[in-house]
Amino acid sequence: MLVPRIKAHGRAFAHIAAYHPELTALRRDLHAHPEIGFEEHYTAQRVVEALKVCGVDEIHTGIGKTGVVAVIHGSQRQSGRMIGLRADMDALPMTEHNDFAWKSLKPGMMHGCGHDGHTAMLVGAARYLAETRQFDGTAVLIFQPGEEGFAGAKAMIEDGLFDRFPVQSVYAMHNWPQMRPGTVGINPGPMMAAADRITIEITGKGGHGAHPYQTVDPVLVSAHIITALQSIVSRNVRAIDSAVVSLCAMQAGDMGAFSVMPGKATLMGTVRTFNPEVQDLVERRLHEVCSGVALGLGAAAHVNYERIYPATINSRQEARFAAEVAQKLLGHDHVDRDLEPSMGAEDFSFMLQVKPGAYLRLGQGAENGVGSCFLHNSRYDFNDDVLPLGAALHAGLIEQGMPLASAD
């Protein structure tokens, strides 16, 4: 029998720890059967089956294509309060290089970000809340599809998520291998950056590589653009602000034709920012720099700038509350209330644009290597030791956010 190695306080943690083996079995089954965004049919089915066993009051499927929402009513409903908890369900289109028994059974798909663990933790919270119902209000548990680049949160919202379930606040958490198990991190502001996609199409004039004077070389133009774009952050963005401009891919010419100069080249990359004003500045300067450099070398450049995910910004009151819940569970020394933001992105940001709430990081990186491999790595695996803790943290947000009225 699995025994939780993490120490935590409170009734919820002790209760949930009793079914740690079942949560681990569910998590590993989900890991073995990964599904990418909006294709989480098996995952949604397993979630629904588990929720039925948990005894939740309502189960709603097909929200935002493959999303699932469970509703649990407290033993009291005098407050009229409703709080949402969200877990993402999708996997990544990448090949797993682990060799344990629950490794991916689907070539080219892998739970490389721990969403299998997030789903299992929310199922654990559902079971506890349905069994105890020690809160005054309604808990809404959101199992979201398509976080990895598909904007599944936005799809659920557009499908009426918060119209049908008008929560007053919403919370989510993500495992973080760079933090120790038994720790939680949060801050009352930006947690994750906005993620934008940039595509730069450069048009020159192709020709023979032996006679470059007869051409306009788009590869040379690309090299100058790549270098020039790094000046945006260093020379246009204030030092006290944060921004990243990364060109991550380039396509030009034919690798089998070493002496043929192409007529076109394409660059692909990403921009990361926290502040919308900085985001606007970077977008404007990208257009100006690319056009100017290309024009100066006799070419033309077209920039397609796509805003994919907004920044994930916690609301101050909810972040403070979530930190207090975590502190009661783990103790003061195990909660970082001023966690450094990440330049990664998260589509929970769409929910925080509509509702106040908070996004937390749950430590999972152990000294023995379990859970320590960073996210999106082909050898990553979720650390099952933290399952009861994450579930108890979810439950605490509900119980302490909607406490039972005192009996007179």
Per-residue pLDDT tens digits for 131-155: 999 999 999 999 999 999 999 999 9
Cβ neighbours of residue 25 closer than 8 Å, sequence gap 6 or more: none
User: HSE (CB half, 13 Å, CA atoms) of 397?
Assistant: 31
The sign of the CA dihedral 192, 196, 197, 198 is negative
Q: What is the mean pLDDT of the chain?
A: 96
Mean predicted confidence (pLDDT) in 297-310 = 98
Taking 90 as the threshold, does the pLDDT of residue 354 lie above it? yes
Query: Where residue 3 falls among pLDDT bands split at 50, 70, 90?
Result: very low
- Alpha-carbon span 249 to 270, nearest angstrom: 10
Taking 80 as the threshold, does the pLDDT of residue 295 lie above it? yes
Q: Residue 154: left if φ>0, alpha if ψ -120 to 50, beta else—which one?
A: alpha
Taking 70 as the threshold, does the pLDDT of residue 4 lie above it? no
**β-strand pairing of 194-203 with 264-273:** antiparallel
- Give pLDDT tens digits for 312-324: 999 999 999 999 9
Query: Where residue 102 falls among pLDDT bands split at 50, 70, 90?
Result: very high
- Alpha-carbon span 48 to 222, nearest angstrom: 50
How far from chain centre, in Å, is Cα 200? 26
Distances (CA, A) of 375 to 63, 92, 94, 109, 365: 27, 11, 12, 14, 11
Q: Two tokens at 373?
A: 């491999």
Taking 50 as the threshold, does the pLDDT of residue 1 lie above it? no
Query: Where residue 29 falls among pLDDT bands split at 50, 70, 90?
Result: very high
Q: Quote the pLDDT of residue 408.
A: 42
Q: Quote the pLDDT of residue 369.
A: 76
**β-strand pairing of 82-88 with 169-176:** parallel
Query: Where residue 260 falls among pLDDT bands split at 50, 70, 90?
Result: very high
**Which positions are annotated as active-site residues?**
90, 147
Q: Quote the pLDDT of residue 368.
A: 74
Helix 387-401 and helix 316-330, axial crossing angle in degrees, nearest 10: 120
- For residues 122 and 404, the answer to whether their CB atoms sit within 8 Å is no
Taking 80 as the threshold, does the pLDDT of residue 128 lie above it? yes
- Give pLDDT tens digits for 80-92: 999 999 999 999 9
Helix 41-54 and helix 20-32, axial crossing angle in degrees, nearest 10: 160
